[in-house]
């Protein structure tokens, strides 16, 4: 589904991502982990075209490396961010429908005169929002204002907006950050459900219990370099990974 070849991102003299190559197979949950500052979010930004990079990013064999950010979603990329931005005085339904805007194709006159074209796109957005809410267990909350809801629900709304574009691959940046144990379990159930529906998920996450429970494959970064890759059981016992997280004294 996704292949990264020799990806490098530099900020002045700092190399944030150093010659990274990795593959994300179709229909799996693949986690990208590493200590703070390892370059994980920068990899996401490079995939989405939000930072300048060298190397290649391919989606299903299509090289999207030279495309601007707004065109990359056309190849099936959906993405959430570390810091959620929720429209507090809009309902969950309205927040989700905002995520559909990139798929709409009507202009200002359609908006002013409420043309049939506008009505068709709004109906599509509404139907997609209801479907996404159903998947995430939010269907009975669609009419509630997002700002009045627990943080865990707001996180699910953020994931839902990324799903609105009907992605082939979903990039989730620390979706479990700040969640309670119950909220994390709800998120876990939602991600497994999405995977079982055929969606590919690339996950950046610090909750290792979540990562180890749901990932088929894990790639580990440290200071922008890939130091390990494999199944959860292989990563759990990898000496270099333990050193990156705990320091050399772990093996002293």
Would you identify the CATH topology of the domain 2-251? Rossmann fold (3.40.50)
pLDDT number for residue 100: 85
Query: In the chain, where are the structural domains located?
Result: 2-251
- Kind and range of the H or E element at 8? strand 2-11
**pLDDT value for 248:** 61
What percent of the chain is modeled with pLDDT above 90?
A: 76
Consecutive H or E run containing 83: none
Q: Phi then psi for 149, rounded to 5 degrees?
A: -100, 155
Q: What are phi and psi of 85, to 5 degrees?
A: -120, 105
pLDDT digits (tens, 9 = 90+) for 96-151: 999 887 777 666 766 666 777 778 778 899 999 999 999 999 999 999 999 999 99
The count of other CB atoms within 10 Å of the CB of residue 128 is: 20
Q: Which of 51, 166, 175, 157 is nearest to 94 (CA)?
A: 157
Mean pLDDT of 211-230: 96
Q: How far does Cα 207 stand from its chain's mean position? A: 15
5-23 pLDDT, tens digit per residue, is 999 999 999 999 999 999 9
pLDDT for res 112? 67
* Whole-number Å distance between alpha carbons of 174 and 188: 12
pLDDT digits (tens, 9 = 90+) for 39-90: 999 999 999 999 999 999 999 999 999 999 988 888 999 999 888 888 999 9
pLDDT of residue 101: 79
Number of H helices, E strands in the chain: 10, 10
Secondary structure (H, E, C), 98-139: HCCHHHCCCCHHHHHHCCHHHHHHHHHHHHHHHHHHHHHCCH
pLDDT of residue 109: 65
- pLDDT tens for residues 165-211? 899 999 999 999 989 999 999 999 999 999 999 999 999 999 999 99
pLDDT at 252: 46
Give the pLDDT of residue 56: 97
**Structure-token pair, residue 252:** 């002293």
pLDDT the model gives residue 60: 96
Place of tokens 């574009």: 165
H/E stretch holding 228 reads: strand 225-230
């Amino acid at each position: 589904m996704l292949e990264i070849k020799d990806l490098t991102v530099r900020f002045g003299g700092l190399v944030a991502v150093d010659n990274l190559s990795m593959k994300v197979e179709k229909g799996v949950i693949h986690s990208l982990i590493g200590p703070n500052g390892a370059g994980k979010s920068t990899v996401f930004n490079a995939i989405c075209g939000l930072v300048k990079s060298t190397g290649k990013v391919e989606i299903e064999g299509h090289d999207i490396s030279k495309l601007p950010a707004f065109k990359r979603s056309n190849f099936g990329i959906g993405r959430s961010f570390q810091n959620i931005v929720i429209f507090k005085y809009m309902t969950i339904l309205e927040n989700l429908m905002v995520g559909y805007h990139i798929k709409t194709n009507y202009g200002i006159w359609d908006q002013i005169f409420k043309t049939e074209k506008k009505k068709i796109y709004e109906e599509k957005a509404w139907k997609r929002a209801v479907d996404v809410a159903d998947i995430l267990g939010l269907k009975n909350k669609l009419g509630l204002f997002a700002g009045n809801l627990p943080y865990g629900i707001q996180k699910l709304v953020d994931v839902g907006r990324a799903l609105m574009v009907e992605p082939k691959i979903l990039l989730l940046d620390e979706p479990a950050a700040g969640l309670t144990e119950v909220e994390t379990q709800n998120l876990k159930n939602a991600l497994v459900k999405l995977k079982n529906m055929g969606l590919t998920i690339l996950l950046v996450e610090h909750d290792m219990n979540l990562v180890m429970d749901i990932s088929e494959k894990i790639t580990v970064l440290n200071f922008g370099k890939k130091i390990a890759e494999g199944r959860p059981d292989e990563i759990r016992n990898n000496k270099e990974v333990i050193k990156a997280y705990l320091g050399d004294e772990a093996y002293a």
